[in-house]
Structure 1
Amino acid sequence: MAKRIQFSQHGGSEVLEYRDYQPAAPGPREVRVANKAIGLNFIDTYYRNGLYVPPALPSSLGTEAAGVVEAVGSEVTRFAVGDRVAYATGPLGSYGELHVLPADNLVHLPDSISFEEAAAVILKGLTVQYLLRQTYELKGGETILFHAAAGGVGSFACQWAKALGVKLIGTVSSAKKAALAKELGAWATIDYSHENVVQRVLELTDGAKCPVVYDGVGKDTWETSLDCVAPRGLLVSFGNASGAVTGVNLGILAQKGSLYVTRPTLASYANTPQNLQAMADELFAMIASGKLQVEISNRYALKDAAAAQDAMSARKTTGSTILLP
Structure 2
Amino acid sequence: MKTRRVVVHEYGSPAVLHVENHEVPEPTANQVTIHNQYISVDYTDIYWRTGQLDAPKTPLTPGKAGAGVIAKIGAKVTDLQVGDRVAYIQTSGAYAEYFNAPAKLVVKLPDSISLKAAAAMMMKGLTANALVKHVYPVGVNKTVFIHAMAGGVGSFLTAWSKFLGATVIGTVGDDEKAQYAKSLGADKVINYHHDDILQTVMNFTKNTSVNVVYDGIGQATFNDSLKMLGPQGMYVNFGQVSGPVNDFSLGILAEKTQYVTFANVNTFVDDLDLLQQMSNELFAFYQETDFARAQTITEFSFDEVVAAHQLLESGKSHGSIVMKV
Query: In structure 2, what residue type is equivalent to 1:259?
Result: Q
Q: Distance in 2 between matches of 1:50 and 1:57?
A: 9
Q: Which residue of 2 aligns with 1:193?
A: 193
Partners of 1:120 and 1:296 within 8 A in 2: no
Deviation at 1:53, TM superposition (A): 4.1
Q: Distance in 1 between matches of 2:108 and 2:245?
A: 36
- 1:222-268 per-residue CA deviation (whole Å, 9 max, x = no partner) reads 1111111112210001111222212322222225x221001011111
Q: Distance in 1 between matches of 2:111 and 2:319?
A: 23
Query: In structure 1, what residue type is equivalent to 2:230?
Result: A
Q: Percent identity?
A: 36
Instruction: Find the residue that maps to 1:220 and give its secondary structure.
Output: coil
Instruction: Find the residue that maps to 2:39 and give its secondary structure.
Output: strand
**Superposed counterparts of 1:72-151, under 5 Å:** 72-90=73-91, 92-151=92-151
Partners of 2:139 and 2:161 within 8 A in 1: no
Q: Which residue of 1 aligns with 2:282?
A: 283
Q: Which residue of 1 aligns with 2:14?
A: 13
Query: In structure 2, what residue type is equivalent to 1:243?
Result: G
Q: Distance in 2 between matches of 1:45 and 1:136?
A: 27
Q: Distance in 1 between matches of 2:292 and 2:8?
A: 34
TM score, norm. by length of structure 1: 0.96
Query: In structure 1, what residue type is equivalent to 2:97?
Result: E
Q: Which residue of 1 aligns with 2:317?
A: 317
Q: Distance in 1 between matches of 2:302 and 2:270?
A: 29
- 1:93-146 per-residue CA deviation (whole Å, 9 max, x = no partner) reads 111101111100111111110100000111111111111111111121211100
Q: Distance in 2 between matches of 1:45 and 1:54?
A: 10
**Superposed counterparts of 1:217-256, under 5 Å:** 217-255=217-255
Query: 5+ residue gaps in structure 2?
Result: none
Query: In structure 1, what residue type is equivalent to 2:99?
Result: H
Q: Distance in 1 between matches of 2:185 and 2:171?
A: 13
Instruction: Find the residue that maps to 1:219 and give its secondary structure.
Output: coil
Q: Distance in 2 between matches of 1:119 and 1:297?
A: 10
Q: Distance in 2 between matches of 1:100 and 1:244?
A: 32
Instruction: Find the residue that maps to 1:31 and give its secondary structure.
Output: strand
Query: In structure 2, what residue type is equivalent to 1:67?
Result: G
Q: Distance in 2 between matches of 1:45 and 1:55?
A: 13
Using the TM superposition, name which of 263-272 and 293-302 deviates more.
293-302
TM score, norm. by length of structure 2: 0.96
Query: In structure 2, what residue type is equivalent to 1:29?
Result: N
Query: In structure 1, what residue type is equivalent to 2:47?
Result: Y
Q: Distance in 1 between matches of 2:188 and 2:280?
A: 29
- 1:32–1:296 CA distance, 2 compared to 1 (3 A): farther
Partners of 1:6 and 1:59 within 8 A in 2: yes
Q: Distance in 2 between matches of 1:59 and 1:251?
A: 41
Query: In structure 2, what residue type is equivalent to 1:82?
Result: G
Q: Distance in 2 between matches of 1:49 and 1:267?
A: 20
Name the count of aligned residue pairs.
Answer: 323
Q: Which residue of 1 aligns with 2:70?
A: 69
Q: Distance in 1 between matches of 2:297 and 2:270?
A: 31
Instruction: Find the residue that maps to 1:145 and give its secondary structure.
Output: strand
**Superposed counterparts of 1:251-266, under 5 Å:** 251-255=251-255, 257-266=256-265
Deviation at 1:205, TM superposition (A): 1.0
Query: In structure 2, what residue type is equivalent to 1:101?
Result: A
Partners of 2:233 and 2:259 within 8 A in 1: yes
- 1:150-170 per-residue CA deviation (whole Å, 9 max, x = no partner) reads 111111122112211111101
Q: Which residue of 2 aligns with 1:175?
A: 175
Q: Distance in 1 between matches of 2:47 and 2:235?
A: 22
Query: In structure 2, what residue type is equivalent to 1:120?
Result: A
- 1:67-90 per-residue CA deviation (whole Å, 9 max, x = no partner) reads 011111111111111111101113
Instruction: Find the residue that maps to 1:262 and give its secondary structure.
Output: strand
Instruction: Find the residue that maps to 2:291 and give its secondary structure.
Output: coil
Partners of 1:219 and 1:242 within 8 A in 2: yes
**Superposed counterparts of 1:290-301, under 5 Å:** 290-293=289-292, 295-301=295-301
